[in-house]
Amino acid sequence: MADNDSVLAAARAWSGARMALATVVSTWGSAPRPRGSHMLVHEDGRFEGSVSGGCVETDILATAADVIAGAPAVVKRYGVADDAAWEVGLPCGGEIAVLVQPVSREGFPPDLFDAIEAARTAGTPLDVATDFASGRSAPGSAGNFVNRYDPPRRLIIVGAVQIAQTLVGLARELGIATTVVDPRARFLTPERFAGVTLDDRWPDEAVAALRPDAATAVVTLSHDPKIDDDALAAALRHSTGYIAALGSRRSHAARLERLSAAGFGSSDLERIEGPAGLSIGAIGPAEIALSIAAAMVKRFHAVA
């Protein structure tokens, strides 16, 4: 859902205009966009989002114009076997089905966008079901297609170190809202972390206040047990989707011993990935940040 944020923003900005919503409702093979991906089309031809990465958008825009003009909702199917596969199709070899429906009471009600935003703000998922025969969508799980809107992905970085600077940039490109926590004022400066939410509270207080959920990652990078341990303990007390700690295997073993002594059981400790990140032979801050970002995304997909 992260890359549908721009569609939700456009729905707010275009409120009151006639629109059509295109949604990927099924995929097969090497489809360029996952199920649930949206493309919102304004009556003046503007659009936001994508359903194929460019392969079929031109045809979808034409279909959307018809739907805005009053045509019924329709499911369009595209694949490499199409006669015009290289013109309107998927030369990558996959297949997709895309529902195009009006943004109206007869299709995708405008207030559903508000309901999705409210659920995301509250940190709770929302299911929206669509009936292909009528073309109508409504909250619930009974329909030909059910789209799950999860809370927005967040990253809480504990430790304003050099790795964090690169990780912040990667998270930004991934559409993940990031907060950097560090009680050390000399580390946590706007010059080092421009355009990022900074939190100088002690990590256990900061993490608890941010209430991490299944769509949130907490990554500790400070190398200081006084800072990292408190943050990890706070993350373990919530349904945090991804918890990781930087350090060697030896230091991680010592960390687990300390947390165990603090009352956390084996099932809790197994939630902590240590050393943090995928094993890609990373060398240097930038590559380590990349390995952590990749592991975080992998866990988010597993949780979803």
The proportion of the chain whose per-residue pLDDT surpasses 70, expressed as a percent, equals 93
Give the other-Cβ count within 10 Å of 254's Cβ.
13
Cβ contact 243:231 at 8 Å: no
Torsion, CA 186, CA 187, CA 190, CA 194, rounded to 10: 160
Number of domains in the chain: 2
My answer on whether 110 and 15 are in the same domain is yes
Spell 159-178 as b/e; 16+ CB within 10 A means b.
bbbebbbbbbbbbeebebbb
My answer on whether 144 and 159 are in the same domain is no
Element (H, E) at 40: strand 38-42
- Check pLDDT > 70 for residue 18: yes
My answer on whether 124 and 166 are in the same domain is no
**Residue-averaged pLDDT of the chain:** 91
Ordered DSSP codes for 78-104: EETTSTTTTTSS-TTS-EEEEEEEESS
- Check pLDDT > 80 for residue 77: yes
Q: Coil, strand or helix: which one is 129?
A: strand
- Check pLDDT > 60 for residue 259: yes
Specify the residue for token string 């309107």: 88
Q: What pLDDT is attached to residue 80?
A: 55
- State pLDDT tens for residues 83-105: 444 455 555 557 889 999 999 99
Picking from 108, 127, 149, the residue at the C-terminal end of a domain is: 149
Picking from 84, 118, 149, the residue at the C-terminal end of a domain is: 149
What is the mean pLDDT of the segment spanning 235-262?
96
164: confidence class by pLDDT, cuts 50, 70, 90: very high
304: confidence class by pLDDT, cuts 50, 70, 90: low
CA distance linking residue 68 with residue 51, whole number of Å? 18
- Check pLDDT > 80 for residue 11: yes
What is the mean pLDDT of the segment spanning 30-51?
90
What is the mean pLDDT of the segment spanning 40-59?
91
- Its domain, for residue 86, covers 2-149
My answer on whether 164 and 295 are in the same domain is yes
- State pLDDT tens for residues 137-156: 999 988 899 999 988 899 99
My answer on whether 77 and 214 are in the same domain is no
Q: What pLDDT is attached to residue 89?
A: 52
Picking from 88, 117, 149, the residue at the C-terminal end of a domain is: 149
My answer on whether 182 and 247 are in the same domain is yes
